[in-house]
Amino acid sequence: MVTLNKIYTKTGDDGTTALVSGERRVKHDLRVEAYGTVDELNAFIGAARLDVADPNVDNMLNLIQNDCFDLGADLANPQSDSDVEFEPLRVVDTQVSKLEGYIDELNAELSPLKSFVLPGGSRAAANLHQARTIARRAERVATHLAEQANEEVNPLAIKYLNRLSDFLFVAARWCNNKGADDVLWIPGKNR
């Protein structure tokens, strides 16, 4: 269990932060950017939940928020699992599978798309689309980090981010009256 009884430590005043391993990195380091973007995503999901009326979707988002903390902890730990004294918290297959189940459950009641969807419709859908774009940014940062020499990234963390953005898209459609209130893109409409 985490105990936080002092919020400011002053250790980051020099522009660095500590990773799970204790190693200090500059705050604009790609690894810090990756888990920081997941933190931003988690906060935005929390804000989006304020407008989600469906208790089932809200519960899914609640569980996903917890997974986002796991994901952030995973990305904040650069050490290979064999280099540590304790088992690091890593995203696992069951978390990805759970997302796929959520997607399948919601998507089963949506009509197939015949056009791209514009972010909008209901307030809940617009916010979930915003969260989706943050998830995509987190995925871009994580994949960039994974390409760096001497950096290890759990492939399931990247897979989770990819599925999460898919889930947020489907959940946004669900919150648009199960897709009936989606705002569709009309190519060249304003020419």
Q: How far is CA 51 from CA 26, 134, 175, 190, in A?
A: 36, 18, 9, 31
CA angle 156, 157, 163 (to 5 degrees): 85
pLDDT recorded at residue 16: 72
Q: Environment class of residue 16 by beta-carbon count within 10 Å: exposed (0-12), middle (13-18) or buried (19+)?
A: middle
Regarding predicted confidence, which is higher, 20 or 182?
182
Q: What is the mean pLDDT of the chain?
A: 91
Residue 95 in this model has a pLDDT that exceeds 70: yes
* Cα–Cα distance for residue pair 64/160, rounded to 1 Å: 10
Domain boundaries, the chain: 20-181
pLDDT of residue 86: 66
Q: Are 24 and 17 in contact (CB under 8 A)?
A: yes
Alpha helices in 50-150 (DSSP H): 55-75, 93-107, 123-146
| pLDDT on residue 73 | 93
- Top pLDDT among 23 and 93 is at 93
- Per residue in 129-165, pLDDT (tens digit) is 999 999 999 999 999 999 999 999 999 999 999 999 9
Over residues 7-39, the pLDDT tens digits come to 777 766 778 777 777 777 767 889 999 999 999
Superfamily of domain 20-181 in CATH is Cobalamin adenosyltransferase-like (1.20.1200.10)
Determine the pLDDT at residue 14.
Answer: 73
pLDDT tens figures, 58-79: 999 999 999 999 999 999 998 6
